[in-house]
Amino acid sequence: MTIDKTFIANLTRDKHVVIYGSSKQGKTTLRKHCLNDEDCIVISCLNTMDIDNLNGTILKTAGYQIEQTQTRTIGGHIKYGAEFRGEGKVPFFASAGASGAVEKENSENNTVETKRLEIDLNDVNDIIIALKDVNFQKFIVLEDFHYLPVQTQQDFAFAIKAYHENSRLCFIIVGVWREKNRLIYYNGDLTNRVASIDVDAWSKESLLEVLHAGESLLNIEFDKETATSLVEQSSEAVSLLQEACYRICEREGVTETQSAHKGVASGVDVPALMKEIVNDQAGRYSAFINNFAEGFQQTDYDMYRWIMYVVLTVESDELEGGIRRNVFSKLIKDKHPVGSKLNEGNITQALQSSASLQVTKNIRPIIIDYDQTTRVMNVVDRSFLIWLALQDRGVLMSEIGLE
């Protein structure tokens, strides 16, 4: 079954869907290809959002206006006045768990329903009631879920169980990471309630299909040897393949569908082309290495600098397959000034905060991510792997103050 069909099939199975994978591998494209804009609302997650902010954004995108009130819950959370105004036939009834006033306005052409509720944005039950009251039935897409603070991700993993059990609302969560069961790691109760779609599964055959689809649209034909080399040199990254094909077409004057069938890409130096593409991001990758090594602030153990030390010293194939936490521990302790006295907790804590550090340093999309389930750090930007293989790692090490 293709990824498209797997995604659509899971949307009909009363499950929430997680679309995950490395950056620029087609996560958002998959969602846009399979769902019409009118079938969903889209929330772009930010690193400043707590669970209240996230829930409030969901309600506002669904059509509510949110205003803070003076009321507080027993737990000390502030309550908010939520007003929904929508045209058309909106079921009109008072909610059973949220206090508030409701009013109805009529005009000649449209019926405008106005609902005012008092809700606690920290309480998922209030959010469910508010969405049910306006008969909200669209898919809710959370883009860039990985940018949310870890605590917000964990809080949402518990909230989504209530969405599953107490409503028919369906969430589509899009994130840059490599582990299949991140939400389940945060909340084991989500087992069998969440379906995961891995968009990194780009086989050579699939990449060739992308290339051939472009050929058909432009009425051109790539040189077979060049086409094969493009697929092999792209490191299973569809964005790299697309960019390489674009540059070849641009250089050969193919900017629109050709009136006559045209052969292109004969004799292209594919390795040199790939090097050119990844070198366009050299500034971003150099900044990533230096900013990550600096960490959040200066500390005695300088753990983020030593994590980067491991990234820059392991073999390329090991880095591509992911580095286990115990490998970090051994390599760091072998070279760190305090040696074997270094606490394992310091290493683990730094690895777990690697994504948060990148977001704080404005490294977007993120380049490395730590999987707490398998205890493996993965590179989630495939272009970085190609770029790093072309660099003098000794020079990179000296730039972050290590030999």
Q: Tell me, what's the pLDDT at 179?
A: 85
- Mean pLDDT along residues 196-206: 91
What percent of the chain stands above pLDDT 90?
76
Both tokens of residue 75?
A: 């737990």
Q: Tell me, what's the pLDDT at 71?
A: 61
- Mean pLDDT along residues 168-176: 95
The pLDDT tens digits of the residues spanning 244-271 come to 999 999 999 999 999 999 999 999 999 9
Q: Tell me, what's the pLDDT at 58?
A: 96
- Mean pLDDT along residues 300-307: 95
The pLDDT tens digits of the residues spanning 90-146 come to 333 333 334 443 343 444 444 445 567 788 999 999 999 999 999 999 999 999 999
Q: Which CATH class is domain 3-198?
A: alpha beta
13 pLDDT tier (thresholds 50, 70, 90): confident
- The answer to whether the beta carbons of residues 259 and 227 sit under 8 Å apart is no
CA 189 to chain centroid: 22
**Residue 41: is its pLDDT beyond 70?**
yes
Closest to 117 (Cα-Cα) out of 139, 129, 95, 100:
100
Burial per residue of 326-341, b for 16 or more beta-carbon CB atoms within 10 angstroms, e otherwise = ebbbebbbeebeeeee
Which burial class, exposed, middle or buried, applies to 240 when counting CB atoms under 10 A from its CB (0-12, 13-18, 19+)?
A: buried
Q: Which residues pair with 352 in a beta bridge?
A: none
Domain limits of the chain?
3-198, 204-279, 283-399
Q: Tell me, what's the pLDDT at 95?
A: 34
pTM of the model: 0.84
C-alpha to C-alpha distance for 303 and 383, rounded to whole angstroms: 25
- The answer to whether the beta carbons of residues 237 and 22 sit under 8 Å apart is yes
Q: CB-hemisphere CA count at 13 Å for 346?
A: 20
Q: Tell me, what's the pLDDT at 205?
A: 94
What are phi and psi for residue 42, nearest 5 degrees? Answer: -120, 125
